[in-house]
Chain A
Amino acid sequence: MTTLPVRPPLARSSDRVIAGVCSGLAVHMGWPVKNVRLGMVLASFAGGAGLVFYAWLWIMVPTADEAARRTARRPASPIAPAVSQPAPAQAPDAGSPEGAARADADGGGGPSGPPWFRVQGMRYGKEILLGCGLLLVAGIMVAQLLGVDVSLGTLIPAAAVLGGASIAWMQLDETRRAGLVDKTKADQAGGWGRLAAGLALVVAGVLVMVSGSGSWEQTWLALLASVAVLGGVVLVLLPWALKFWRDLEAERAGRIRETERAEIAAHLHDSVLQTLALIQRRAGNEHDVVRLARAQERELRGWLFQDPGRESGQLSDRIKAVAGEVEDLLGHAVEVVTVGDAAMDEAHEALVQASREAMLNASRHGGGTVSVYLEASDGQAEIFIKDRGPGFELGDVPADRLGVRESIIGRMKRHGGSATILSTGEGTEVRLRVPAAADHAEGKS
Chain B
Amino acid sequence: MNTAQGPGTRPANSARVVIVDDHAIFRSGLKADLDASIQVVGEAATVEQAIAVIAQQRPDVVLLDVHLPGGLGGGGREVIAGSAALLSSTRFLALSVSDAAEDVVAVIRAGARGYVTKTISGAEITDAVFRVAGGDAVFSPRLAGFVLDAFGTAPADIADDELDKLSARELEVMRLIARGYSYKEVAKELFISIKTVETHVSAVLRKLQLSSRHELTKWAAERRLL
Contacts and interface: CB of A to CB of B under 8 A. Distances in A.
Contacts of A340: 149, 153
Interface stretch (A52-60, A299-307, A411-419): A299-307
Given A373-B145, A386-B179, A2 B84 contact: yes
Interface of A: 1-3, 6, 8, 73, 76, 301, 305-307, 333, 335, 337-340, 371, 373, 375, 377, 384, 386, 426, 429
Contacts of A333: 119
Contact of B141 (A76, A305, A306, A373): A373
B179 A373 contact: yes
A6 B111 contact: no
B81 interface: yes
Contacts of A384: 179-180
A355 to B, nearest CB: 13
A6 B225 CA distance: 26
Interface centre among B100, B111, B149, B225 (most CB of A within 10 A): B225
Interface of B: 1, 72-74, 78, 81, 84, 87, 98-100, 110-111, 119, 141-142, 144-145, 148-149, 153, 175, 178-181, 185, 209, 223-226
B179 A371 contact: yes
Given A307-B225, A337-B226, A339-B149, A429 B179 contact: yes
A339 B145 contact: yes
B8 to A, nearest CB: 25
Contacts of B78: 6
Contacts of B119: 333
Contacts of B74: 6
Given A1-B209, A3-B84, A307-B225, A375 B148 contact: yes
Given A305-B100, A305-B224, A307-B225, A3 B81 contact: yes
Contacts of B179: 371, 373, 384, 386, 429
Contacts of A373: 141, 145, 175, 178-180
Contacts of B98: 305
Given A307-B225, A375-B175, A1 B111 contact: yes
B1 A306 contact: no
A371 B148 contact: no
A386 B99 CA distance: 21
Contacts of A429: 179
Contacts of A8: 72
B196 to A, nearest CB: 21
B180 A371 contact: yes
B142 A339 contact: no
5 contacts: A305-B100, A305-B225, A333-B119, A373-B180, A386-B181
B142 A337 contact: yes
Given A1-B84, A305-B99, A338-B145, A6 B178 contact: no
